[in-house]
Amino acid sequence: MSTVDRTRQASKAGESRKPKEPKPREQVAERLLKSSAGLWYDPELDLDWAAPLDEDKFFIPPELITLYGTPLWDSLSRAQRIELSRQELANTLSVGIWFENVLMELLVRLNYRKDPTSNHVQYAYTELADECRHSTMFGKVIDRIGARPYSPGFFWFNLGKVFPFLLRGSPMWVAALMGEEVFDVLQRDILRGGAEELQPLVHGVMRIHVTEEARHMRFAREALMRRQRKAGFVEKQFAKFIGGAAAVVLGTLLNNKEMYARAGLDAEQAHRQAKRNPHAHAQFRHGAARIVSFFSEKGVDVMGFPYSLLWRYAKLL
């Protein structure tokens, strides 16, 4: 073999050893990893846990309280309204902890047999670390505001233990987005409610969670779109069902009868008025509008009949 031939052969071998162009999911994960490294929070250090609570400030803006605009709401004193806001915040954070526990187990199972050197898996681990901090932060807030955590109830509690074994592929990402997107809209509304009316601690918690959850939603959206391109009929139908089931979960758990009792109200009367409150229904629809728009724009049909009945039952459509 001539020198020229050997040179050409070596050149071709070198070309074959060049690293391949990373897959789109690796590129997305790499950007999210860099963003996480550049901007993240430690709630233990970044929040002032010792600052006193202001007894005249709300824990969530009044217009986001489920009874807002009802006859019962009109009869409440400011102190009663503030106490109800305390209980509704504690309930919302408890639902968030429940959801994040389910999501963390899903992410662990997703990574179990995957390549730990990939950006995709490493970002999933990064999200796990974020969710651990968030759940810890939510628990500390519930304790700091003088409330007690709420249970999702026997049915949802036990279903949450089953979800990690059932959800794979599109259904997993649909469930993740339902929880993340609806809560994100709620949190952004809380931040827009005005710091002058809101407890400073709550404002700080929402700011942290909104910032870090934006990356989680980008990760889940990209994963869902990739999975949808190769999902079969059965998987897509199950994803539709999970979307509707998640809507029912949110509509049920965020309107917990017990929070009215803890606020010192007639629980039956308050729950009945909240369930019929058109203002609360509008807030639920507003919370779901962004994810509904995303599903529609990307052709992810999760709301077709009969699954749309679940969305309507939950007041998210």
pLDDT > 60? residue 18 = no
pLDDT, mean of residues 68-80 = 97
The dihedral built from the CA positions of residue 283, 288, 293 and 296, taken in this order, carries a sign that is negative
CB 39 within 8 A of CB 211: yes
Q: What local confidence, expressed as pLDDT, does residue 303 receive?
A: 77
Lowest-pLDDT range of 164-173, 221-230, 248-257, 302-311: 302-311
- Confidence band for 278, pLDDT divided at 50, 70 and 90: very high
Whether 67 has a pLDDT exceeding 90, the answer reads yes
Task: Flag whether 3 is in a domain.
Answer: no
**How many domains does one find in the chain?**
1
Among 170, 196, 186, smallest CA distance to 295 is for 170
Q: Residue 316 above 90 pLDDT?
A: no
Q: What is the CATH number of the domain that holds 117?
A: 1.10.620.20
Does this model's pTM top 0.75?
Answer: yes
Would you call 144 exposed, middle or buried from its count of C-beta atoms within 10 A (0-12, 13-18, 19+)?
middle
In a domain, 63, yes or no: no
pLDDT computed for residue 9 by the predictor: 53
CA distances (Å), 171 to each of 92, 153, 175, in order? 23, 23, 6
Range of the domain at 200: 21-47+71-313
pLDDT digits (tens, 9 = 90+) for 29-57: 999 999 999 999 999 999 999 999 999 99
* Residues 33, 123: Cα–Cα separation, whole Å: 6
Q: What proportion of the chain, given as a percentage, has pLDDT over 70?
A: 92
| Contact status, residue 192 vs residue 22, Cβ threshold 8 Å | no
Q: Is residue 14 part of a domain?
A: no
Percentage of the chain beyond pLDDT 90 is 70
Residue 170 pLDDT > 60: yes
Q: Using the predicted structure, report yes or no on whether residue 212 has a pLDDT greater than 90.
A: yes
Domain membership flag for residue 30 = yes
pLDDT at 6: 45
Q: For residue 234, is pLDDT > 50?
A: yes
Mean pLDDT on 190-212: 88
Inside any domain, residue 7: no
Instruction: Measure CA of the first residue to CA of the last residue in the chain; give whole Å.
Output: 74
Residue type at 177 in one-letter notation: L
pLDDT of residue 205: 95
Residue 29 lies in a domain: yes
Average pLDDT of the chain? Answer: 89
Q: Residue 307: what pLDDT?
A: 85
- Segment 60-67 shows an average pLDDT of 95
Specify if 266 maps to a domain: yes
Is residue 19 scored above 80 in pLDDT? no
Give pLDDT tens digits for 106-127. Answer: 999 989 989 999 999 999 999 9
- Inform me whether the pLDDT recorded for 194 exceeds 80: no
Instruction: Summarize the confidence of residues 186-208 as an average pLDDT.
Output: 87
Secondary structure element (H or E) that encloses residue 128, with its range = helix 119-144
Q: How many alpha carbons fall within 13 Å on the CB side of residue 68?
A: 15
pLDDT at residue 16, rounded to an integer: 47
CA 18 to chain centre: 40
Query: Does 252 reside within a domain?
Result: yes
